[in-house]
Chain A
Amino acid sequence: MKNMIKKAALGVAMVAFALTSNAQINKTKKAQKDTEAWKYEIECVGIGKPGTKVIKVWSYSKKASVANAQAKKNAVHGIVFQGYAGGGQGCTNQKALVTDPTVGEQKKEFFDNFFDVNGGKYMKFVSHSADATPEVIAVKIKGYKYKVGVIVTVNSNALRKDLEAAGVIKGLSSGF
């Protein structure tokens, strides 16, 4: 009898684990798709040290924690593909590092690996700002409940150099 209970408990635990993992994978996949579909917003919040960009990233999700976790990836994605408009705090508009709109498709494999949530290289170029408390706003958009704003610092110089070394973008002195 005891054995039966043990086996049942183990079975329930395994099913629960599988469901949780599956849910987590689904959330991750959705967050990945959201990044690719530009479902985030970035704004400049100040002038950082030379070679860095201090930006606020607004990400959307059903769970505030997922949106918070996506902030770093969205920030790097934004600097690479989107750029941002100028504003207060002395911010000037910044163009995206990738100026050719076809590069995203041409180098799809590179960017899939680069923005992989499980250990993608993008993590190397972004950090949470020291005084960054996520700003959570409830929204009524189909498929999303929260809009989460997080201030992050992107090491844009190192990011640009990495993309140059990978042949994704051209350096200023390439060809000379």
Chain B
Amino acid sequence: MKKTILLLSLIVAGITVSFGQAKKPTIMVVPSDNWCNLNGYMMEFDNQGTKVKIPDYKRAMQENTDVLLVISSINGMMAERGFPLKNLESAMKTLESNAAEDNMRSSKESGASVNENPIDALKKVAKADIIMQLTWKINKTGPKKSVTFILQGLDSYTDKQIAGAQGTGAPSMTAEVSVLLSEAVTSHIDNFNSTLQAYFDDMFENGREVIVRVQTWDDWYGDLESEDYGDDELGTIIEDWMADNTVKGRFNTTDMTETMALFEQVRIPLYDAKGRAMDTRKFAKGLSKMLKKEPYLIPNKLVMKGLGRATIILGGK
């Protein structure tokens, strides 16, 4: 009897815990391209005749103390709010050490090295679900200095600005730049968090906003306009599945051709039917499974990108 009660208690506790925890997005503070460009922290490449500039975060972190001060202040304040952030400098160091380890690693039995395809290599960048993009500029009017400060919260998958705070601080003749920057962070972080909280509240009420893409391999015999799979075109069947499985049927069909479909502003539930936390991969897995089964029997490959983007490629693995 006691064992039964204990078992039941554990099951109830398990269900409660699994219902209480949605997947937590990762956040990282990154200096903006604009700031890196104005301060000379850019790398230049010749991409088939076109000059391409990309920010050199590593050099910025190594050479600019102000950027460290601002990132450290924001990280500290967010940790104090119970939401510790990923640190850009640490993330870059981890990537480097992982790459070095992978290069050196070999199988004890066969001497084989670690597998890495070109996509894996492309994905090896410092990333987070939400980027806190940081820009500041020192304004000088005669002997007076002030700081214009912009903090943007950007969703890595939907490209939407989900939070923000900006403004110009009081001019000062005596305060050092680092003091002005600290004041700017202090005066803006609460407003930023307030808008971020509103985004999370909306997410808990209306589901996580994500992007789902459907593509086709070029050797696949079928297409999304085909009517061989039922009463309607395959694209419409997929749209119907989206309408049935999104929160309150919310999604936009941004693009639909015979070879691809793009669904934006897709609101997915935070938990699946078993009460487990859901991300876009798990959500898209449902569509992938449906297409593999009868009457469709379409082999497909599911590719994910973080919490908020998934792609299904029809026609094979």
Give the chain B neighbours of A101 by CB distance below 8 A: none
Nearest chain A CB to B89's CB is how many angstroms away?
Answer: 22
Band of interface residues on B = 20 to 34
Q: Are B200 and A92 in contact (CB under 8 A)?
A: no
Q: Are B24 and A173 in contact (CB under 8 A)?
A: yes
Contact partner, A99, options B169, B182, B194, B196, Cβ 8 Å: B194
B183 touches A (CB below 8 Å): yes
The prevalent SS among residues of A at the interface is loop
A22 touches B (CB below 8 Å): no
B282 touches A (CB below 8 Å): no
Task: Tell me the nearest residue of chain A to B76, going by C-beta.
Answer: A50
A133 touches B (CB below 8 Å): no
Q: A173-B81, A176-B23 given; name 11 further pairs at CB < 8 Å.
A: A50-B73, A50-B77, A91-B187, A92-B188, A99-B194, A170-B197, A172-B196, A173-B24, A173-B83, A175-B21, A176-B22
A171 with B170, Cβ < 8 A, contacts A92-B188, A99-B198, A156-B190 known = no
A118 touches B (CB below 8 Å): no
Give the chain A neighbours of B73 by CB distance below 8 A: 50
A120 touches B (CB below 8 Å): no
A172 with B186, Cβ < 8 A, contacts A92-B165, A95-B194 known = no
Within 121-176 of A, Cβ neighbours of B (below 8 Å) are at 156-157, 170-173, 175-176
A172 with B197, Cβ < 8 A, contacts A92-B187, A95-B191 known = yes
Task: Tell me the nearest residue of chain A to B193, going by C-beta.
Answer: A172
Task: Tell me the nearest residue of chain A to B196, going by C-beta.
Answer: A172
Q: Are A90 and B194 in contact (CB under 8 A)?
A: no
Within 77-133 of B, Cβ neighbours of A (below 8 Å) are at 77-78, 80-83
Give the chain B neighbours of A11 by CB distance below 8 A: none
A contact residues vs B (CB 8 Å cutoff) = 47-51, 86, 88-95, 99, 156-157, 170-173, 175-176
B272 touches A (CB below 8 Å): no
Task: Tell me the nearest residue of chain A to B82, going by C-beta.
Answer: A173
B201 touches A (CB below 8 Å): yes
Give me 28 A-to-B residue pairs in the complex whose CB atoms sit less than 8 angstroms apart, sorted by A's number. Answer: A47-B169, A47-B187, A50-B185, A51-B80, A86-B167, A89-B170, A90-B169, A90-B170, A90-B183, A90-B184, A90-B187, A92-B165, A92-B187, A92-B191, A95-B190, A99-B198, A170-B197, A171-B81, A171-B82, A172-B81, A172-B197, A172-B200, A173-B24, A175-B20, A175-B204, A176-B21, A176-B23, A176-B24
Q: Are A47 and B191 in contact (CB under 8 A)?
A: no
Give the chain A neighbours of B169 by CB distance below 8 A: 47, 90
Q: What sequence of 0s and 1s flags, for each residue 160-192 of chain B, a beta carbon within 8 Å of any chain A beta carbon?
A: 000001010110000000000011111110110
Nearest chain A CB to B136's CB is how many angstroms away?
Answer: 13
Task: Tell me the nearest residue of chain B to A173, going by C-beta.
Answer: B82
Give the chain B neighbours of A47 by CB distance below 8 A: 169, 183, 186-187
Task: Tell me the nearest residue of chain A to B81, going by C-beta.
Answer: A172
Give the chain A neighbours of B165 by CB distance below 8 A: 92
Contact partner, B82, options A90, A95, A99, A172, Cβ 8 Å: A172
Specify which of A50, A51, A95 lies most central, judged by the most chain B CB atoms within 10 Å of its CB: A50
Q: How distant is the Cα of A51 from the Cα of B190 in the complex, in angstroms?
A: 9
Nearest chain B CB to A88's CB is how many angstroms away?
Answer: 7
Give the chain B neighbours of A156 by CB distance below 8 A: 190
Q: Are A170 and B201 in contact (CB under 8 A)?
A: yes
